Amino acid sequence: MTHGEIWILGATGRVGRAVAARIAAAGTVPVLVGRDAGRLRKAAADLGLCADSKIVVASGSDAMAAEISWQRPAVVVNTIGDYAETAVPLARACMPGGHYLDQANDPTAFHRLLALHDEAASAGSTLVTGAGFGVLGTESIVARLCENRPVPSKVRVDAFASVAVEEGVMGTALATSVVDGFAMGGRCFEGGRLVKTRLGGEVHHLALPDGERMSAVGVPSGELIAAQRVSKAPSVSATSGLVPASRAVRAALPPLSALLRIGTIRSFAIDWMAGIKAKATPRPRPHTWGHAVVTWPDGTVREGWLRAGDAMDFTSAVAAQTALQLAAGKGQPGAHTPAAALGHGLAIAAGADFID
């Protein structure tokens, strides 16, 4: 194994560039991995890395997995997206001994990666999925509220991301996540089992701690899986403030979801969305908020909030902190969500604070 090397797959992308910048700022030179040497060199120069800093050019996720198996980096940060397909082969390539993390946020990708738990534990590798805002921003609150307490009966988590938009196209990685999220349809845990629900059926109206009023709609997400695993509650739901909560939009969600499950329509929607051009826009609210409400069988209810700045900044800080802590040997071998791997203090290390 090449001791200490942290590889950033997709280092020319939004998340990849931001994570690489944070790792470099912490004093570790990241290895930039991508499909185009010229764009990788430009990304390295933008980061202020020296001209001969190591880059790895690989044509796609299979070629990246082959390079990982061959060169044995200590930690791999996967920011290339399509995690339901890319996470497992890339994580397997890190074993034995190497560590892996990604920013997945969908139940399918979560189940596939978390199913590698025993394999990773015996290989001495730590695999972390969901190392970003939505998952750690809600999982860490639930972990705090449930610490040293019996198993609750019910948990709800809500994520209110406030994100500045970078000028440019949305790109295939993010478009695939959005389209596949809608295509999956609603999900929640009932009786300890993940069950289908009507997409858009659950809506909550909340006052944020800074006084702003927001609405959030139930979505299938990694937040849902992480909140269930950390609490072990039989009944769990998760909502997002990014989905418009108007009646008209919510009524359109189930037919839209059914349409997006048709292969050709899914591909068309991803291509169309990937090409949408955005203007640079500042974040709409000063803070990003995570929220959790935990209910115990005796009727006790506890509620908590996590406050961060820009959600994308928090995501890159979580990924960088996770990578640095794994490189320092702090992870438990196995496959985990972020707070389960490194504790809820990871959110504080990434710049957030908790408000009870």
Ligand X SMILES: NC(=O)c1ccc[n+]([C@@H]2O[C@H](COP(=O)([O-])OP(=O)(O)OC[C@H]3O[C@@H](n4cnc5c(N)ncnc54)[C@H](OP(=O)(O)O)[C@@H]3O)[C@@H](O)[C@H]2O)c1
Exactly one of 231, 315, 322, 337 binds ligand X (CB under 6 A); that residue is: 315
Q: Is 132 a binder of ligand X (CB under 6 A)?
A: yes
Whether 196 and 279 have beta carbons less than 8 Å apart is answered as: no
> What is the C-alpha separation between 106 and 225, in angstroms, rounded?
9
Residues 255-294 that bind ligand X (CB under 6 A): none
Size of the site for ligand X (CB under 6 A): 26
How far is it, in rounded angstroms, from Cα 21 to Cα 25? Answer: 6
Nearest-approach distance from CB 140 to ligand X, in angstroms: 13
What tokens does 176 get?
A: 């695939």
What whole-number distance in Å separates Cα of residue 352 and Cα of residue 133?
Answer: 10
What whole-number distance in Å separates Cα of residue 35 and Cα of residue 53? 17
331 scored as a contact of ligand X (CB under 6 A): no
Q: What are phi and psi of 65, to 5 degrees?
A: -60, -40
Residue nearest to ligand X (CB): 13
- State the minimum distance, in angstroms, from the CB of residue 190 to ligand X: 25
Of 149-157, 166-174, 205-213, 297-305, which part binds ligand X (CB under 6 A)? 166-174
Please say which residue, 84 or 324, places its beta carbon nearer to ligand X: 84
Binding mask 52-71 for ligand X (x = CB under 6 A): --------xx----------
Q: Which is nearer to ligand X, 111 or 149 (CB)?
A: 111
Shortest distance, CB of residue 354 to ligand X, whole angstroms? 18
Q: Tokens 């006790």: give the residue.
A: 300
Which is nearer to ligand X, 140 or 315 (by Cβ)?
A: 315
Place of tokens 């290390």: 349
| Closest C-alpha among 147, 177, 346 to residue 270 | 177
Q: Based on the shown chain and the rule CB under 6 A, indicate whether residue 218 belongs to the binding site for ligand X.
A: no
Residue from 1, 4, 26, 36 that binds ligand X (CB under 6 A)? 36
CA distances from 34 to 1, 8, 13, 68, 192 (A): 21, 8, 9, 13, 40
| β-pair partners for 77 | 8, 101
Binding site for ligand X (CB under 6 A): 10, 12-16, 34-36, 39, 60-61, 79-81, 103, 105, 132-134, 171-174, 177, 315
